[in-house]
Amino acid sequence: MRRVVALTALALVIAGCNTRTPERWQIPDGYVGWVVAQYKNPSCTPLPRSDGYILLRIPSSGRLCTSDTQPDGEAFDKYEYVKADGASQEIDQRTMVWGGMASSTGRSFVFLGSEQQLRSSSTSAERLDTLCTTDLQC
């Protein structure tokens, strides 16, 4: 009986966690700057899935649009640079990925580059969110 109670309690704890499918952000090799993912746009295509990840294939503009809903919850996302030949290299999230933010407007923002490049950036996620409200090509 104790075992049943313990397993039931463990199942309830796990079910209560707010997890989601992790994302793999695939960014053109050498890209530096803000990346914007616009969710829930019916004129855009759904995001592909592979090996347990949702794939965000970011174009050279740094702007991605999808009909998928914005993810909610915790996950260990991956960021990688993709070379022209398709080879990829994981980006060090401790030194090159900054300012991850999800807005209530259905957009996610992340800055790729060094901390100094982030500090030198002329914009912020909040400013981009405002700009993207009026210009979807922001």
The predicted-structure confidence for 79-138, as pLDDT tens digits, reads as follows 999 999 999 999 999 999 997 788 888 889 999 999 999 999 988 888 888 887 766 666
Select the more confidently predicted residue: 135 or 28. Answer: 28
91 falls within a domain: yes
pLDDT of res. 72: 85
pTM (whole model) above 0.85? no
37 falls within a domain: yes
- Cβ contacts of 28 within 8 Å, gap of 6 or more: 58, 59, 60, 81, 82
Domain that holds residue 88: 20-134
82 falls within a domain: yes
11 falls within a domain: no
Percentage with pLDDT > 90 across the chain: 58
pLDDT of res. 5: 45
Number of folded domains that form the chain: 1
